Amino acid sequence: MKKKYDVYGIGNALVDLEFKIDEQFLTEHKVEKGLMTLVDEETQFRLINAMMQTDTIRKSGGSAANSMIAISQFGGKSFYSCKVANDEFGDFYMKDMREAGVDTNLDKQEREDGVTGKCLVMITPDADRTMNTFLGATANFSVKELDENAIKDSQYIYLEGYLTTSPNGVEAMMKGKKIAEDYGVKTSITLSDPAIANFFKAQFTEVIGASVDLIFCNEEEAKTYTGKDNLEEAREAMKKDAKRFVITQGKNGAMIFDGDTFIDIEAYDVKAIDTNGAGDMYAGAFLYGITNGMSYAAAGKLASLASSKIVSQYGPRLKTPEVHEILRHLK
């Protein structure tokens, strides 16, 4: 019997605020380039004021949210469990997710007072993205935000690695994974960020347990998580934690392990101007592919093309004509 959802995601709910800056700004404000750093609300507010930009791109985000939106854009069906506050940004988040075609728990639960989380995305001229995140309400994401019926009516559950930074986030990841396994739903997780994979390795190990069906990571995250110096050793070590995995390699494409063999996916040659959301798009497009009849190789090609479109523009989402163009290109 066909499941209602292709993928059920759980992760942070953040309103992304994207700015173009130069590297001198990062140096002057002591912001570590290329990483996601958790900050307090005051620090984030100070940085926004210092940039003094009016053409801010505002989108509902969070890593796993971006992936669920990608699935919906390609014609799949996704559900997202998250937490926002009863404020203006929370209103915006709910409306934006609804318009993106993603079902959420937010329509069924009363929102608490507080501040909705925001991610300040700073794009430098080399297309690198530096993120300063104030978690706000999403710091309290817990098992209460899970929807058991939606999980069991999904082909895959997708766990956002950033949730490992809080004990209640880890508990929600483990509970979601257990529900999925109890109902025969496949499990997937993203390592999210090299710093997260490094400092919260114990939490990842706890969530992953004996194994997951699918891990998403980039090359640096794979080496950091496994403690290996090179990709060849890292990919062998990852077989202990995942039945299958995808390692993205930027301009060098991606490496997919389908459970039996390694598949190399070539990158599409584009000029990168903004890498924000590229990994999220890759995971979303890949999950859409494998839950809609594609082979791992075909899904990898779809994901590679989709993420190449993302890095060649500003913002983490495709426009509708671009989605149609990608699907036509792969026929």
pLDDT tens sequence across 87-130: 999 999 999 999 999 999 999 999 999 999 999 989 899 988 89
Nearest to 211 by CA among 192, 237, 187, 176: 187
What pLDDT shows up at residue 316?
78
What pLDDT shows up at residue 103?
98
Handedness of CA 185, 154, 171, 64 (dihedral sign): positive
Length of the chain equals 331
pLDDT level of residue 48 (50, 70, 90 thresholds): confident
What pLDDT shows up at residue 156?
98
Interatomic CA distance for residues 120 and 51, integer angstroms: 11
Q: What angle do CA 61, 66, 67 make, to 5 degrees?
A: 155
pLDDT in tens, 132-165: 999 999 999 999 999 999 999 999 999 999 999 9
Look up residue 312 and give its two tokens. 């060649």
Q: Is 268 exposed, middle or buried (0-12, 13-18, 19+ CB in 10 A)?
A: middle
Are 197 and 225 a contacting pair, CB within 8 Å?
Answer: yes
What pLDDT shows up at residue 14?
96
pLDDT in tens, 206-238: 999 999 999 999 999 999 999 999 999 999 999
| Three-class DSSP category at 22 | coil
pLDDT score of 54 more than 60:
no
Look up residue 83 and give its two tokens. 């937490």
Are 316 and 14 a contacting pair, CB within 8 Å?
Answer: no
Proportion of the chain above pLDDT 90, given as a percent: 81
pLDDT score of 55 more than 70:
no
Q: Worst-scoring range by mean pLDDT, 44-58, 97-111, 165-179?
A: 44-58
Nearest to 122 by CA among 198, 220, 50, 206: 50
pLDDT score of 331 more than 80:
no
Are 226 and 238 a contacting pair, CB within 8 Å?
Answer: yes
Q: DSSP characters for 77-89?
A: -EEEE----SSHH
Look up residue 46 and give its two tokens. 């100070």
Look up residue 189 and give its two tokens. 């997780």
Find the Cα–Cα–Cα–Cα dihedral 277, 282, 284, 289, rounded to 10°: 160
What pLDDT shows up at residue 53?
67
Sorted by sequence, the CB contacts under 8 Å of residue 175 that are 6+ apart come out as: 143, 146
Interatomic CA distance for residues 150 and 206, integer angstroms: 24
Beta bridge partners of 81: 10
pLDDT in tens, 266-302: 999 888 887 778 999 999 999 999 999 999 999 999 9
Mean pLDDT across the chain, nearest whole number? 94
Nearest to 111 by CA among 137, 143, 79, 81: 137
- How does DSSP classify residue 209? T
Q: How many CB atoms lie within 10 A of CB 141?
A: 28
What pLDDT shows up at residue 265?
96
- How does DSSP classify residue 229? S
Interatomic CA distance for residues 41 and 31, integer angstroms: 15
